Amino acid sequence: MNWFLKGLKNGIKTERFPVGNQEYLPGWSTRITGKGNSYCPTGAINEGKWDPEKCIFCRMCFPNYQPTGDSRIGIVNNYNKAFKKSLFIYPIDVGSCGGCNLELNALTSPHYDISRFGIFFVNTPKHADALIVLGKLSEKMIEPLVRAYDSMPDPKIAIAGCSGAIMSKMPIKFDAVVPGCPPNPYTYLYTLVKIKNGEMQ
C-alpha cells in the first residue's frame, strides 16, 4: 500500500526495475549467501556454494546463510529472437500451493506493469509464446500440461515458474527457470525481460 500512497503523492506509480534497482527489497526467495556448513534438505548448499535451482527457500540454512534481497536469480538457457517485439505468456498450474500464482499475477499491477516491456498474459496456450509452469507436477496434470505445450505455435519457450516446477520430473524441457517458493514478482519480471530481450545466462 505504501507504493500506492507514494504514487498519489509524488506521481510515481511504477518501479524502474529491472532497469533500475528494486524499490522494496523482498525477504526470502532472493539470492542467498553465507559460509560454513549448514543443513539443506535439497542439497542446494554444497561446500559453501548455493544452487538456486535446488533451493526451496525453506530457511533451514538460516542463520549461516541469509537472503541478500537480490532478485536477479532467474536463469535463461534458451530464447528466440522472434520474442524481441512482444512476448505473450500463458501460466498453467500443475499442482502449486497458489503462492506463485499470486506473485505472478502481481506483475499486472501498476507497481510492476509488465505491459510496458511488451509482455502480456493470454487466455489460451494457442496464442502464447511462453508457457509458465507453476507448482510441483501432479499425476492428473501431466496430460493437460503436454496438451497445452503441444498446442502452442512455434517458436515457443517453456519456463519453470517456481522451485516446485524446477524439481519435478517434467514431460517437457524447460528453457528458463524462475527459482523461489514462491518467487517474488521482481524475479519473474527480471527473467521474462531477459527472455524477451534475448539475454542468456
Tens-digit pLDDT profile for residues 109-125: 888 899 999 999 999 99
Does pLDDT of 19 surpass 60? Answer: yes
Mean pLDDT along residues 48-59: 90
User: Which grid cell sits at 73?
Assistant: 536469480
The count of structural domains within the chain is 1
| pTM (2 d.p.) | 0.89
pLDDT at residue 200, rounded to an integer: 58
Residue 79 pLDDT > 90? no
Position 35 in a domain: no
- Looking at residue 189, which CATH number applies to its domain? 3.40.50.12280
* In 38-156, beta strands by DSSP E: 45-46, 49-50, 65-67, 75-76, 87-95, 119-121, 130-135
Contact 32, 61 (CB under 8 A): yes
Which comes out higher in pLDDT, residue 88 or 111?
Answer: 88
* Domain that includes residue 128, residue range: 75-197
Mean pLDDT for the chain overall: 89
The pLDDT assigned to 95 comes to 92
Looking at the predicted structure, is the pLDDT value of residue 1 above 60? no
Quick check: is 33 in a domain? no
Whether residue 179 is contained in a domain is answered as yes
The pLDDT, as a whole number, for residue 37 is 82
Q: Sign (positive/negative) of CA torsion 167, 172, 175, 181?
A: negative
Q: Is residue 20 in some structural domain?
A: no
